[in-house]
A and B are shown apart, each in its own frame.
Chain A
Amino acid sequence: MADERDPSAERFERYLDALLAGGRPSPDDVESGDEAEMARLAAELAGAVGPESADPDPAFIEQLRLRMRAADAGMAAVRVPPPVRDRSAEPAGSRPWRLSRRQLLQGGIGAAAGLAAGLVGVAITPRTPREAPTLGGPDDLVAGDGYWVEVGRLDDLPPGTATRFSTAAFDGFVVNDAGEVRALSSVCTHMGCTLHYRPEWQDLRCPCHGASFDLAGRLANGRRTWRENPYRGDARAYPIELPDLVRPRVKVEDGVILVWTAQA
């Protein structure tokens, strides 16, 4: 037959391509109605006859088990009602965020451990364009008792670099974003995997499902941001929105970088 090109078939191939490559297919490549039925059938077909085993990855099972154990053990700590940010202080039009028990659980082991260690009152900021306050800013973490911990020297953190740090209550990165120093949690807000820093993309990347967070702690490759500004690092958008990374307070004194950590 003659070469034919059909826009629907071309678009639908993007769905199939992601599915058959073992990736995460996007509803954006599928129209509702018949195509949704086709996608569903294709998914069943891929799950039934593909070479990939229907058995889960043991690493996934183990990681989820640890996360569930922490969540189960941390339920008592997590039951403490978290403070809610003053809504009157929200910029107009922004979506107020309540920090629910579920979100805390989804924050993973790090969040649960942080809570158990007394780090209550982490305010997840609304996802609106805003200027990141310099040096963390008191809005991002309303901590109770705590103390400043030295995590490195500014000389060792030139612009465009990041360093891992670990305190009694917290694991994270300090980053130098074009001269502005910030501290960010290294725990992905999706499933609690540990992020790694990619200097070439200036982001914190999750090895589990490919979420990328910018150096202000916001999801950088979500669908919403994708439309305005296709993310250079990926072929397609991350399919769901995620809360921002937790950002403890940070300051620089006499060339020493200090991060506020909750009393353990």
Chain B
Amino acid sequence: MSTGPGRFEQVYAAHVVGIYRFVYARVGNRPDAEDLTAQVFVRAVEQLDTDRAPGQIAAWLYRVAQNAIADYWRAFYRLPVVGVDHVAPGWEPADDAAQRASVPDDGATIRVQALLRTLPDRYRRVLELRFLQRMSVAETAQAMGITSGNAKVLQYRALRKAALMSETTDG
């Protein structure tokens, strides 16, 4: 077997940054992205057959990552968490998972930016100040000449509008 010491580390080195970026683009924060990335590789060290073809290994890892991200969001939807162990990731690189593996910086960025552009001016402005410039609520309120309470309501409505639009464009 070529699964001796070193083989797994090669797989790790080849994929850890891609998996992290993939997760980060979907959870948007470093602590959770680190957790989920670690979950993927903990499962991989237990279960991944490192003798598989590189494309299959990539597909397997990205599927596990996808499942881990889905589980993460289930907590927000108050849905039962499945657990990353309970979903068989499969080997087939036939779907978009393998493609994503080779193009880690995927459509998510483009999609959210397109979404921002289609929002009404004030909604786009409040989200740009908070997300792009990372202003606090107080700074955002000051920049827009409104109260902090108004800024919170405005960003809430902006995100709701964007989420509804996102659902319809997703089909």
Contacts and interface: CB of A to CB of B under 8 A. Distances in A.
Chains A and B come from one and the same complex: yes
**Chain B residues touching A, range:** 35 or more
Contact of A39 (B12, B76, B155): B76
A60 B24 CA distance: 14
B42 A52 contact: no
Nearest to B43: A102
Interface stretch (A65-73, A179-187, A226-234): A65-73
B85 to A, nearest CB: 7
Interface string B19-51: 011001111111111110110011001100000
Nearest to A42: B159
A195 B86 CA distance: 31
B152 to A, nearest CB: 4
Interface in A30-66: 30, 32-34, 36-52, 54-57, 60-61, 64-65
- Chain B at the A interface: mostly helix, strand, loop or mixed? helix
A18 B109 CA distance: 21
A37 B29 contact: no
B8 A72 contact: yes
Contacts of A1: 146, 150
A13 B46 CA distance: 39
A69 B9 CA distance: 7
B32 to A, nearest CB: 6
Interface in B106-125: 108-109, 111-113, 115-116
A264 interface: no
A38 B30 CA distance: 19
Contacts of A208: 34
B1 interface: no
A80 B155 CA distance: 54
Nearest to A3: B147
B149 interface: yes
Contact of B134 (A27, A43, A51, A61): A51
A248 interface: no
Contact of B42 (A49, A57, A69, A105): A105
B30 A52 contact: yes
A16 interface: yes
Contact of A4 (B28, B30, B111, B150): B150
A127 interface: no
B80 interface: no
17 contacts: A4-B150, A9-B156, A16-B155, A17-B137, A23-B29, A24-B31, A36-B73, A36-B78, A37-B163, A39-B76, A47-B25, A48-B25, A56-B20, A57-B34, A60-B34, A73-B5, A106-B42
Interface of B: 5, 8-9, 12-13, 16-17, 20-21, 24-35, 37-38, 41-42, 45-46, 73, 75-78, 85, 105, 108-109, 111-113, 115-116, 127, 130-132, 134, 137, 146-147, 149-150, 152-153, 155-156, 159-160, 162-164, 166-167
Closest 3 CB pairs of A and B: A43-B28, A46-B28, A9-B156
